[in-house]
């Protein structure tokens, strides 16, 4: 955990809103994953946080990357990933994504039958199975439900494996990812039970990839136990694709108090909001909010951002000491899907990011400027001349 004086220093030095990451927490999360999942191969789902410095650190620790777009594949390449260290997922891959995967020698996760004919010749591939289950998470975070767009049905999966082999691809096994922010091992065991039924038709497999989806407070040992049992039933090597679990706790969003408003509810207005951290608005996500100032008199506050959107709230009903403009708030567990989902809506430049190594801060992404936001736009000639 980063001490309060060090957080205050970061805000002074780099300004706010600011994402800060604790390298020790990132390393600790990876150690917990490795302890729970034993010899499983770890592919970090870089959508959770694609900052190149963090990617470089994870790569140095021996982690592979799961990518879902040409941009993410380019990031993987940028930090030196190649071959089997790269896993390419996605329900509607583009020609450019197939070409980039072929150039790197990546493994593709096949999401529909048509892909057998679209893969580059001689591709390494897994087949994603949708177990058609409802799991205990937000609807938008469930990816293994019967009405979700991901994967093939359990009935289709053996045929797709066979078709891949017949087409000359290296069909190595099955993949399942049932959603995100899931805490209970029972959701995973239900999914793995659906896969186990396929063993009679598939025989042993080289790889069983059980995806990610583990919530910050998930029962990791329980989930790992279920995953290892499922992999050994197939005689397969276990692969995992954690995103959130690896980076969520490492990240904190620092934001300054702009002011207050009392209108029946107490609003604490901050310089960060939905453009920096979309999750509360998008999924009703709850993040711990801590005051980095002292004060006795506690009140209950709704923490709201500066955007002209009613949903622009970081948290509701937070107990905080009496605030003064300029005070600093820490929004915790924001390392996953925080910076990566930040936007330049309202031409708000995206925030800076800094890494704490236990001794000092390093700026790992500079704050954008308005000029960065419109850099790809065509400036009208008249404006250019004036
Ligand atoms: C296929 C796949 N694997 C892994 C992940 C990572 O999920 P999480 O960040 O919840 O671990 C995702 C997230 O959307 C995904 O779609």
**Cβ 275 vs Cβ 346: under 8 Å:** yes
Q: Could you tell me the pLDDT band of residue 133, with boundaries at 50, 70 and 90?
A: confident
For the record, the structure tokens of 223 come out as: 């989930």
**Any known ligand binding at 244?**
yes
- pLDDT tens sequence across 210-232: 999 999 999 999 999 999 999 99
Residue 279 marked ligand-binding: yes
| Tens digits of residue pLDDT in 74-104 | 999 999 999 999 999 999 999 999 999 999 9
CA atoms of 112 and 109, how far apart (whole Å): 9
Q: Annotate 19-35 with b (16+ C-beta within 10 A) or e (fewer).
A: bbbbbebbeebbebbee
- Pocket probe mutation, ligand 1, options 135, 144, 211, 340, max atoms within 8 Å of Cβ: 211
Say if ligand 1 is within 6 A of residue 137 CB.
no
> Ligand 1 pocket, 46 CB below 6 A?
no
Cα of 245 vs centre of ligand 1, distance in Å, is 10
State the average pLDDT for the chain.
Answer: 95
CB of 111 closer than 6 A to ligand 1? no
Q: What is the mean pLDDT of residues 108-123?
A: 97
What tokens appear for 331 in the block?
């929004």
Residue 385 has pLDDT above 70, yes or no: no
- Given the residues 92, 95, 200, 308, select the one marked as catalytic: 308
Q: Relative to the CA of 48, which ligand 1 atom is closest?
A: 9
- Dihedral, 316, 350, 251, 340 alpha carbons, nearest 10: 100
Q: For 341-372, write each residue's pLDDT tens digit.
A: 999 999 999 999 999 999 999 999 999 999 99
pLDDT tens for 215-274 read 999 999 999 999 999 999 999 999 999 999 999 999 999 999 999 999 999 999 999 999
Residue 292: predicted pLDDT:
97
Q: With helix as H, strand as E and coil as C, how does 171-212 read? A: EEEEECCCECCECCHHHHHHHHHHHHCCHHHHCCCCEEECCC
Mean pLDDT for 1-11 is 97
What is the model's pLDDT at position 158? 96
Beta bridge partners of 179: 142
User: Mean pLDDT, to the nearest integer, of 130-153?
Assistant: 81
CA 15/CA 255 separation, integer angstroms: 9
- Told to judge if 308 belongs to the known catalytic residues of this protein, a careful annotator would answer yes
Give percent above pLDDT 90 in the chain.
85
Question: In the prediction, which pLDDT does 183 show?
Answer: 86
Domains for the chain: give ranges and CATH numbers: 4-19+248-371 (2.40.37.10), 23-245 (3.20.20.10)
For the Cβ of 243 lying below 6 angstroms from any atom of ligand 1, the answer is yes
165-215 pLDDT, tens digit each: 999 999 999 999 988 888 888 889 988 998 989 999 999 999 999 999 999
Confidence of residue 384 (pLDDT cuts 50, 70, 90): low
Percent share of the chain, pLDDT over 70: 99
CB of 177 sitting under 6 A from ligand 1:
yes
Please report the pLDDT score of residue 386 as a whole number.
Answer: 55
């Amino acid at each position: 955990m980063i001490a309060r004086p060090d957080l205050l220093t970061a805000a002074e030095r780099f300004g706010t809103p600011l994402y800060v990451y604790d390298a020790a927490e990132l390393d600790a999360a990876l150690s917990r994953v490795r302890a729970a999942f034993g010899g499983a191969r770890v592919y970090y789902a870089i959508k959770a946080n694609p900052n190149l410095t963090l990617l470089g650190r994870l790569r140095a620790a021996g982690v592979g990357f799961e990518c879902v777009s040409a941009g993410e594949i380019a990031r993987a390449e940028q930090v030196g990933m190649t071959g089997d260290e790269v896993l390419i997922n996605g329900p509607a891959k583009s020609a450019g994504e197939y070409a980039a995967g072929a150039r790197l020698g990546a493994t593709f996760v096949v999401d529909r039958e048509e892909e057998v004919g679209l893969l580059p010749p001689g591709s390494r591939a897994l087949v994603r199975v949708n177990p058609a289950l409802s799991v205990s998470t937000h609807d938008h975070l469930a990816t293994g439900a019967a009405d979700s767009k991901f994967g093939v049905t359990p009935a289709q999966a053996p045929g797709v494996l066979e078709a891949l082999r017949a087409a000359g691809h290296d069909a190595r096994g099955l993949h399942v990812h049932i959603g995100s922010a899931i805490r209970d091992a029972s959701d995973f065991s239900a999914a793995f039970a659906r896969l186990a039924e396929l063993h009679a038709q598939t025989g042993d497999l080289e790889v069983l990839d059980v995806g990610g989806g583990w919530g910050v407070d998930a029962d990791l040992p329980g989930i790992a136990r279920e995953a290892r049992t499922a992999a050994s039933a197939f005689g397969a090597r276990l692969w995992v694709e954690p995103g959130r679990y690896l980076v969520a706790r490492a990240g904190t969003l620092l934001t300054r108090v702009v002011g207050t408003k009392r209108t029946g509810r107490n609003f604490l207005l901050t310089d960060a909001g939905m453009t920096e951290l979309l999750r509360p608005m998008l999924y009703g996500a709850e993040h711990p909010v801590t005051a980095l100032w002292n004060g006795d008199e506690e009140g209950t506050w709704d923490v709201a951002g500066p955007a002209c959107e009613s949903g622009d709230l970081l948290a509701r009903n937070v107990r905080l000491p009496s605030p003064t403009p300029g005070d600093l708030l820490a929004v915790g567990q924001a390392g996953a899907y925080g910076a990566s989902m930040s936007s330049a809506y309202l031409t708000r430049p995206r925030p800076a990011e800094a890494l704490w190594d236990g001794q000092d801060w390093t700026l790992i992404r500079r704050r954008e400027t308005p000029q960065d936001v419109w850099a790809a736009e065509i400036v009208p000639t008249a404006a250019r001349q004036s």
